[in-house]
Chain A
Amino acid sequence: MPDTTSNAADLASIPALLARNAHKFGASIAYREKEFGIWQSWTWIEVAEEVRATALGLLNLGAERGDHVAIIGRNRPAHYMAMVAAQMVGAVPVPLYQDAVAEEMAYVLDHCGARFVICGDQEQVDKVIEVQDEIHHIEHVIYNDKRGMRKYDHSHLNALGDIEAEGRASHQRFDDELNARIAELDYDSTCVMLYTSGTTGKPKGVVLSNRNIIETARSSAEFDNLGAGDEVLAYLPMAWVGDFIFSIGQAYWTGFCVNCPESAETMMTDLREIGPTYYFAPPRVFEAQLTNVMIRMEDAGRFKKRMFDYFMAHARKVGPALLDGKPVSALDRFKYWLGDVCVYGPLKNTLGFSRVRVGYTAGEAIGPEIFDFYRSLGINLKQLYGQTEASVFITIQPDGEVRSDTVGVPAPGVELRIADNGEVLYRSPGTFVEYYKNPESTASTKDAEGWVATGDAGFIEETSGHLRIIDRAKDVGKMADGSLFAPKYVENKLKFYPNVLEAVVFGAGRDMCTAFINIDLTAVGSWAERNNIAYASYQELAQHPQVYRTIQEHIEEVNRSVANDEMLSGCQIHRFLILHKELDADDGEMTRTRKVKRVVVADKFADLVGALYDRSGEIYTETEVTYEDGRKGQITATLKICDVAVMDVARKMAAE
């Protein structure tokens, strides 16, 4: 554990923490990155030296206090170090989503007025150059990976390595200036600016101070006993607040090691090689891994399959109880131990979870089956609830109080309140300073006393004190007959089926609920393979009658479960169709963090929504799609629409 008693004023910025770490943890590893097939590592001393060199290089290029430095690239130590270097010179790092297309990037770069842009590779440089035609305040573009860059006009283009080298060479000229700028940083200076993905409207720049980040990092690290020996894998977008808290905030506070995968595709292999002790993933990653395990078990030999099924059934029964420290009989303990030797241990090892001490999932609701699967294996997977404006943490599940349907108790230092309309409000040391250049939005989100509206509707369970989230506050509506409509609630139930990747439920102001379904190509594709069903494309598979039948069964099951809930029984789905394309952020149908933009989808597929309500059996549609490089194309399809059995709520209630 770091020495938390040391004077807070000395540790009021990330560069200050870096200096402490170089002094205190000197030779231990700060960053690892797999490159050329080998894990390359940086000690804290090396990091401090490299960050300083980059900072000197930035001064050399004329970086001023308050400049915005955009960083676009995948998770690499060099990019993290560049962010800290920017902080050193008094500038504000602004990490951007690397998969954003040029026009999305243009808005953010324009809004923050970046003078410097640090790009991971040629692909990002190309996008920035494209944007530069409209935005003239970008003075220097800096790239990390030199590949393919030789032919470019280098008058305002520099390699990150060259900047560092020049920084080292010019240290005598800039040392004093840099020291002065580092000394100026205090708790209230801006640590980072992050753009919220925004399910509605344009992204907003959330300004977070050193106080926000460091206080949050400190309390959350204490909450889970994180320390210098921990290992994390940094693979989630750098533009996302969670990655900033984990890979910069907590890493610099506790001095743990941040590992960067070789590439996005090798993430699973790298995860296994590193075996992180502290791990974070959105539900879809856990879901994908579970789907993968299940698909592979389908192909396993009969003996292995039976062993897996037998021990997994046992694990489901006693695993969570063991994890929570509840009493379990000696025989069950022995069987669990045997299962651990034969199944759980090897499985955890394959998944890369052998050493996970604390695992978190957040961002979306996680299916109880998925959640319980990992917990029954003995992985301490917990949920947290947070947002960019709170520097992540709002509520968090303490060890031993973990459930799939709540998001936990208020995190240390966080005050929670439920507004009259059901909206969740919070106030905490991590509460953001402001939205950059947007006082109206700041005022409408954060009131004078510092309470922030989350935009989510929820309630606090009286018995446990845990928070439960129902839906986005603005999505909760009424149906034509006045009954409550909570689309997310139903969608989440649907998405818990491996075959369903996404679901979008409609029904606000209507007389019945209907749904769009996106099938999961991995799960359904594997099923098709096993059943000798040939298909040429996603579209063809999606429209297969048997796929429709399976989805219909899933929806009927969901309807039965929804019907049990008195308040929400009106949300049963009457009709559905399977979409001919995956909802995609490139088409603007989802945010970059993969949350469905409900309004955009309803608008774009208005003809399909219409067909769901006009009793037609199928509909012909044309859809525009955007390729990764920004070009557009057209796909056409005839989609079937299917009716689903609905539970008769009135009669059921009478029978009870």
Chain B
Amino acid sequence: MTNNSTQGLGGRSESEASYNQSQQDWWRYFTFNKDHKVIGVQYLTTAFAFFLIGGVLAMLIRAELITPASDLFDRPLYNALFTLHGTIMIFLWIIPSTVGMSNFLVPLMIGADDMAFPLLNAISFWMVPPAGLLLISSFLLPNGPAQAGWWSYPPLSLQVPPGVINGQFLWILSVLILGVSSILGAVNFVTTIVRMRAPGMTFFRMPIFVWTVLSAQLLQLFFLPSLTGGLLLLLADLTIGTNFFKPFEGGSPVLYQHMFWFYSHPTVYVWVLPAFGIFSEIIPAFSRNPLFGYRSVAVASIGLAVVSATVWAHHMFASGTPKWVRILFMFTSEVAAIPTGVKVFAWTATVWKSRLHLDTPMLFALGGVVMFMIGGITGVMQGAMPFDLHVNNTHFIVAHFHYIVYNTITVAIYGGLYFWYPKVTGRMYNEGWGKLHFWLTFIGANLTFFPIFIVGLQGMVRRVSSYDPQYQGWNIIASLGAFLLGVSVLPFLANFIGSWLYGPQAPNNPWHATGLEWTTTSPPPRENFEQTPTVTLAPYSYGQPDYSTVDSSDREAIERHGK
């Protein structure tokens, strides 16, 4: 409903100049540019291209699983499909897309003119496309891509065809490059947030999104080295004949699992924390309420980052870990539910008794929180070691983490893309197409991933292309859902491309949201702000009569938004 109204609001004349300029400069998105806003868009579009590739792989996997027999692909190719699907979605979609969003937003939100190190920022980005192409090019190798899953556990990942250049080699190389890019990015984000805040922007005046980016990037900084080290040792085992992880030479495959999960559990929070940040921005703006318990949500972000560092071995309950380790990690894993619960309660309390405005970003945020409940509660179930041992390596696990990575994180990213689309492009998207996209996504996501819980509990094993015929019914539903998700991308793409070209011009603050990014033009000028803003307010001051980001002469808009 707000969409129609927003076109008449103020901000048009101010944004005209920068808007025209951005139209002339469309090609800058294809150059080595140091502007954090350009890099943000580059990250997002690159990530989305890889998301489409990963999605095609997902649909191929679901096509194979329509029938119980292994009929579409031979087994090595099936292994390669799920390995690359997982790797692409994690390292080339979720991480770069959240980084892209953070890149665009963090300097605007804290009132800075750019990231701390603009050149480093551009270098970090330009490592991503080559690494991704390197990974995908392994389909051209005679023996195909890596087949050992996104974990690449040895000794399986060391059983490769002869010759130095094989899929596993390219896989390690690609993930290493992406890791270096992420470490450099983390250095940049942490420095930016700690050192570049505008006058008056104290830590407890930062929007939650900035808090979550800070938490996530601190995790990258401190834990990514563990994966880098593990992969370098794996690469040495694979190429120069060391014996770190070779069980028959006295090495320890479980050591690799520790090094891998010591990063790869915290990395789940690297992905999900920015998603929580997006929810925390959208939900107050569309319920016109201050975020409930701002301080506790901010502290819970850091708390989640700390707790996430202590839970990694719950991925290894079935790896022959000693009993005391299992019980210890079962305890720490369940503790992670507490800061998460704080956030969900805060969102619920924010929405409580408010006047909801169900625009597309809000639909995605609410849908994402609801589906996160399912993903989160099944996570608590798996944290309980006796339960986990029963569902270990079944589709129940697959359903759980897809409820997190697709139904929560990807949905949050979609929501964020709609929410900040006017700011990024200077144009409004089409609300009707946006809602269509939401409902296709929401229905498709649940249709795809909920049946997988059921077959998982019944015992269907993951990563195998054939299965017992009794599971076929639910698998057909899941596959149909997956194809629906494929279709759901079409209205999104049509809307975003079409609106960027022909959409109505966006005002500076179409949502009447708080936050510094809404005080500048849409799109923002190169320096972000004409003069450095001074912050005197706590964030999320919605519903406060003294405070308004709406042009006070526009009475209609003020009434509509409950000011």
Do chains A and B interact in one complex?
no
